[in-house]
Amino acid sequence: MDSASTAAAFLAVIAVSDGLRLLPAGAIVVCRLAFGDWSVAWASAARHAGSRLRLVTWCSPLLMPVVAAVDTDATLPLRRRVARFRARLRRTRAYVAVLRVGGVVILVALIAGIPWLTARSGAWGLLLGISLVVWLCVIQTVLAIAAFRRSGTAFGRAAVASVRYLWPFSAQRAAEDVMHRAAADVPQMILVHELLPPETFRQFARPILFDAIVRHEAHHQARHEVAMLGAHLGEALVAEIVNRPPSDRDGDAYCPRCGASFYRGTRFCSDCAGVELRPQIAG
C-alpha cells in the first residue's frame, strides 16, 4: 500500500470513529440515511443505569443520527414545545440538508483529496489540499451559525457552538448538532413519533405501550413518556396502536405486544415472554 492510500485509510478510521456517542440511559437513536425515511437504529432501557458508548453512525452527514433522550423539561406546556420543534424543523430543514452535503464534501476532500493531491504534486499538492479543506470548513461554520440562528439560538451562542466546525473532523457533525438543537426539549416518544413514518412508529412503539398500559411493567421513565405521548396523540390513538392487529394479516394469530403473526398450534409469542396470542379477525 502506497503512502497516499495509507494516509487515506488512517483519515477514514478517524472520521468513522467520530460516530461514537456516549448515550444516556433510556436513549433512543433514530437515523436517516441520505434523504430517506427515519428509522430506529438503537434503543436503550432507562432501567439500565449509566451511559453507554455506542457507534451510532459511520458517517454523520450521510447516516445522520438523532439521540432522543428521556424527557427532563417540564417548564413549558407540551403543546408549545411540540409547536416550537415543528417550527424549528421547518426553518432549518434547508440548512440541515446543505450542511449534510457540505459534511460529505469535506470528508471526501479530507480523506481522498489531500492524499491524492499530495501524491500528485508533493508539498504544493498538500498545501492546496489543506487550503481547500480549510475553506470548506469556514463555509460550513458560517452556514452552521445561520442554522443555529434559525433554530432560535442567540448569535453569540451560535458562533461559540459553531467554532468547532473549523476542525474538519468535527465539521461533519454540523447538521446533526442543528437537529439536536431543534429537538432539544421535545419528549422522547413524541420526538420519535414526529420523525418516524406512521407505520414504523406503530411497530416500534407497540411493545413499549403494551408494557406500560397492559402489563403495567414499564419503569417510571417509560410510563412518563407514554403519558406524554397520550397527552399529545390522545388516549384513543395510543390504545389503538396497542389493540390494532398487524396490517399484513399473515397467519391466524398475532402477538398483541410485538404484532408478530403466527399460525395455529402456537399459544404464546416466542419473542415476548408470557404474552398469549390473540386470534386474527378475518376481514
What's the rounded Cα separation, in Å, for the pair 251 and 256?
14
pTM reported for the whole predicted model: 0.87
On the 0-12 / 13-18 / 19+ scale of CB atoms within 10 A, 228 is buried
Per-residue pLDDT, averaged over 245-271, amounts to 81
State the Rg of the chain over Cα. 23
Q: Which of 87, 91, 68, 93 is nearest to 229 (CA)?
A: 68
**Which range has the worst mean pLDDT, 8-17, 135-144, 180-189?**
8-17
Q: What percentage of residues in the chain have a pLDDT greater than 90?
A: 45
One-letter identity of residue 89: L
What ranges do the domains of the chain cover? 10-189, 248-283
pLDDT band at 47 (very low <50, low <70, confident <90, very high): very low
pLDDT of residue 159: 97
